[in-house]
Structure 1
């Protein structure tokens, strides 16, 4: 399937039935240091290091007691939560099936389902102090459309976070094309004391992926 390339890099031979695109993807995976590290350290995906690096910068998991992971599959982010905050209650949701993670409640369903928010908070046993979202819409190959679809998920996740977070809590979400749009950032700033964009080193350089980190939830206004 592969052979050694220059400098120890693994190159993948084109196989019958494999497209050039899939060959490039496989070659990239085989040579990605984060993929190799994830396998060595028992993480389900290289994405685990994105949260690790965000946590190192922003202290997201310090003292976390209740965490909700939106778009949990395959479970790398939750594995980091369990390692860094082992006493925290964690609940996750995803359309895709996810292998069990000890101490974590996982729902296989659409986060956009009307029943999902109540199920998540009921299973958590209280208000979360951290809502994580690594959700991204399935791409259709049109960059503007893909960005808009993912931004809709970010907005839905933000509305959920504002509705359920403990005062002082945080919301972290994947965004694309340089970050959240101005209206979304303005909404975050109304509800959080700090809103910043970050591209962790584990995000591939060629990717348009960024994360928006909103901390210090101000609390819901009295009705």
Structure 2
């Protein structure tokens, strides 16, 4: 077993997180300060729930978090979390009602990834499509001043994607956490300070 798996995999187990991805969000939050007490957060691609648990701790009992994923999870969540097993891009009535009840959100975050094929170009294109759809949802659901985070596979389209966010946010950065596997092609786009949609 590789060293990174030893460290982060075992640390996640010891700290009762379902996946090592929690440490990526911790690094992002430490660098960019996404979360505050009382915020409302939308977590896209939430299963198995590590990001959801961490964000729920950060926003505290007065905050609210909606996690959505096409896969179920057995993770137990605190009372300030609602998890729905749904396609987040669907018009499912229960999902729409849950979003409408909490929006506008302070943070929309996406750890979504496509089912990988091993074909670099295909995987990058599918990742970009997910990120574009996540962005489109985020800008409809974020409050002014809110933040958006999305995982994207590194490739030639990342710059155009980040450039497209710049008119909508005060600051847009690409960030690769130390807890990402060294051979991983993922990076995270962090967009802070939503300006609101143009008139």
The TM-score, its normalising length taken from structure 1, stands at 0.81
Distance 1:83 1:28, change over 3 A: same
The TM-score, its normalising length taken from structure 2, stands at 0.90
Asked if structure 2 preserves the Cα contact closer than 8 Å seen for 1:44 and 1:74, the reply is yes
Counterparts of 1:209 and 1:219, CA distance in 2: 27
Aligned equivalent of 1:194: 171
Asked if structure 2 preserves the Cα contact closer than 8 Å seen for 1:179 and 1:211, the reply is no
Where in structure 2 are there 5+ consecutive unaligned residues?
Answer: none
**CA offsets, 1:36-55, max 9 Å, x none?**
11111111111011000100
Where in structure 1 are there 5+ consecutive unaligned residues?
Answer: 1-26
CA RMSD of aligned residues (A): 2.0
Shift of residue 118, structure 1, vs aligned partner: 2.5
Counterparts of 1:188 and 1:110, CA distance in 2: 24
Counterparts of 1:198 and 1:114, CA distance in 2: 32
Correspondence for 1:109 among 86, 93, 100: 86
Distance 1:64 1:145, change over 3 A: farther
Q: Secondary structure at the match of 1:169?
A: strand
2:20 is equivalent to residue 43 of structure 1: no
* Higher relative contact order (CA closer than 8 Å, sequence separation 6+): 2
Aligned equivalent of 1:56: 30
Instruction: Find the structure with the greater CA-based Rg.
Output: 1
Counterparts of 1:119 and 1:150, CA distance in 2: 27
